[in-house]
Chains A and B, each alone.
Chain A
Amino acid sequence: MIFERKPLDIDKIKVTSGEVHIIKDRCKGCGFCIEYCPRDVLELSEEFNIKGYHPPRVKNPDNCVECHLCEMLCPEFAIYVTKKEDAKVSAR
């Protein structure tokens, strides 16, 4: 059965959360981080960086669970994640 209801204990479950940092000027706009982020945290921004590329922008900051996938995939070492100290309540 597909569950339509929200679990009753959802507000009590703690999960790790991360903060995404983007070094805009290193980015060459490949979009890997946006494409592969399993939590749909990022999107392409309109702005231009120093090289003339569109760097990503954080769209849903609360969705990040600090998995570091973007950090590992980025060919330019332009993105990294730090752990937020207060483990947040899961939002789903």
Chain B
Amino acid sequence: MKIGVYVCHCGGNISEVVDIKKVMEFAEQQGDVALVKDHAHMCSDVARKMLVDDIKEYGLDKVVIAACSPQFHGRTFMGTVEKAGLSPYVMEMANIREQCSWPHYYQPELATKKAKDIVKMAIVKARLDEPLEKKTSPIGKRVLVIGAGIAGIQAALDLGDAGFKVYLVEKEPSIGGKMAKLSRTFPTEDCAACILSPKMADVPANPNIELLTNTEIESISGFLGNYDVVAVRKPRYVDITKCTACDKCAEACPVVVPNEFDEGLSSRKAIYLPNPIAVPHAYVLDDKSCLGLFPLACSKCYDVCDAGAINYDEKPERINFTVDTIIVATGYEIFDPRKKKVYEFAKSKNVLTALDLERLISLEAEGTVLRPIGRRIAFIQCVGSRDELVGNEYCSRICCMYATKLSQLLKRADPKRDVYVFYVDLRAFGKGFEEYYKRAQRTGVKFIRGRVAELHEDSHTHKVRLKVEDTLTREIIESEFDLVILSVGLRPSEGTTKIADTLRLIKSPGGWLQEAHPKFRPVDTLADGVFICGCAQGPKDIPDTVAQASAAAARAIRLMNKGEYEVDPITAFVDEKLCSGCGICAGVCPYEAITIELKDGKRISRVNEVVCQGCGACVASCPSGAQQQRWFMTSQLHAMLSAALGEEV
């Protein structure tokens, strides 16, 4: 057996701490080691060429790379070794950066000693490595996109245009999400509805997209290439193919409730059009506020519907389908400002959220004035963001810019207005944002750095009195305003939290969905074939959301386009002689990959190797040592332990 050992300097990251020469000398003394080399950057093209040449020239059959974490460059070197004609699974990485030079920066001698141990462990493991072969598995071209806000719409359209079958599932009766509520979008001030509605209209027009509105995901099981989805379509009671959106039903309906689309500022009937640009453009009956369907109480809407579109007998419908990959675009909710009691939201008439103001401005543009906006207006920034008192440490990233936008829209509509923005830090980081902020200042919006300490609405005049310290001039400002706007932050939507549980996705602090790698795999998750995009992954603006949605579509296409995909052979397998069929392994398997079967009258555990993700839980739980994991065999782990403990192996 010939093992080649390569020690990387990592451009100083390792060599500044670890004595590379000593590690190399140590490696040379190990049995079966035929070649030891070092390089400033093992991951560089030139070093990898050297590795390929060495494997061929010296006939190496095992390789140890002492460098960074296998999480970081494992795939890189596996590919290189494969190029030289070896199995990618005879390559071992000794992590002497993340687990050695970085944490032990101030103890170079001990670090060198530890580096030797780590290299030795990799060598003894490599000795026992078997040349496993990659497997391929067939995959179809069906995608489930969950959530039809701008992120889901963009991902679905990209996939549909590329010829993939898309199931677009939305729990609300219309697609469009939060973006449909906005007035204009920063920094270009495009009208949100004008740029969104053509995209919304493209969805039902795309022959590859099956749009399922008013539908929620009940369960998802299976694995990449074979996800079984159960969705439940809630009854709409209106046939979308017959409804002409004539509004007669809503006129006749005697039930008035707050309109969610206008954040409860306006009202709607129990049968209603979700919003003016709704897709599908059909009414929906809200059975929670309707006078009653069983027994049927009123039926005034049915009586006036000329199209015969109303059917009170609709029942929830379960829809089953199978997809190959999944894109999660379940979005956000705004922070509930009632949790921040100091701002007296919902108690004061003249304290609104920024989303309320978006609706007021949009409705005004459409010709409906719900309330006067007033002359003196204050924006309070960071409501529910960067605030540990409410448990949200993160920055919501969009509030600075939407306040900049809304404030100058108000100022421009009436230059006599006094518009103030009380901020903590003003973050104008995106393309064109700083210029847009400057433009707001030129328009006459006054930006004052300071967190509002006190807010009180006068019970007679309804003017809102604010007390705030200008932290730049150290002046205490006390002033009255006609309207106070809370720039509320974002939080993960209920759907985001729910789908994380259904798909077993990892959440990052704040409850957002965690990507597989923040820089190099920003839309992947650790679940194979599940991608995330938009605000489900974290707060972001529309350009970033659209870019991420297209990225998620591209990543999904990358997996499906070839018609087959590679599966790691790092799976568990059962030694049938040792297995007693106790079933403990099946109980601990988080992927439901293990079944207990009868074979010649004996209960035996069987691993579905396509489903197995190689987590090792079954191996650790097996009381008789019958479960083994390829590439991490018990014999290999024992050898590594012995090496670490200084025993002869």
Residues of A at under 8 Å CB distance from B?
A: 1, 3-5, 7-10, 13, 15-16, 36, 38-39, 65-69, 73, 90, 92
Contacts and interface: CB of A to CB of B under 8 A. Distances in A.
Contact of B333 (A1, A15, A66): A1
Interface string B319-341: 00000000000000110101000
Given A38-B292, A65-B291, A66-B254, A8 B266 contact: yes
B352 to A, nearest CB: 9
Given A38-B291, A69-B291, A4 B298 contact: no
A7 B267 contact: yes
Contact of A69 (B256, B257, B259, B297): B297
B258 to A, nearest CB: 4
Contact of A67 (B254, B259, B262, B333): B254
A73 B298 CA distance: 12
B300 A10 contact: no
Main secondary structure of the interface of A (DSSP, over half): loop
A7 B300 contact: no
Nearest to B290: A38
A65 B254 contact: yes
Say what secondary structure dominates the interface of chain B.
loop
A92 B256 contact: yes
A73 B292 CA distance: 13
Contacts of A73: 295
B255 interface: yes
Contacts of A69: 291-292, 295, 297-298
B266 A15 contact: no
Interface in B262-319: 262-267, 291-292, 295, 297-298, 300
A63 to B, nearest CB: 10
A55 B254 CA distance: 26
In this complex, the interface size class of chain B, counting residues with CB under 8 Å from chain A, is 20 to 34
B265, B267, B291, B300: most-surrounded residue (chain A CB, <10 A):
B267
A85 to B, nearest CB: 15
Contact of A9 (B255, B260, B370): B370
B255 A65 contact: yes
A67 B297 contact: yes
A92 B267 CA distance: 11
Contacts of B371: 8
Nearest to B346: A4
Contact of B256 (A1, A8, A90): A90
A28 to B, nearest CB: 20
B64 to A, nearest CB: 57
B346 A5 contact: yes
A35 B371 CA distance: 39
A8 B264 CA distance: 8
28 contacts: A1-B264, A1-B336, A3-B258, A3-B264, A5-B264, A5-B346, A7-B256, A7-B265, A8-B370, A9-B266, A10-B256, A13-B256, A13-B267, A15-B254, A15-B255, A16-B252, A36-B297, A38-B291, A38-B298, A65-B254, A65-B255, A65-B291, A65-B298, A66-B254, A67-B297, A67-B298, A90-B256, A92-B256
A36 B370 contact: no
Contacts of A7: 256, 258-259, 262, 264-267
Contacts of B346: 4-5
Nearest to B292: A38
Contacts of A3: 258, 260, 263-264
Interface string B127-156: 000000000000000000000000000000
B629 to A, nearest CB: 47
A72 B264 CA distance: 34
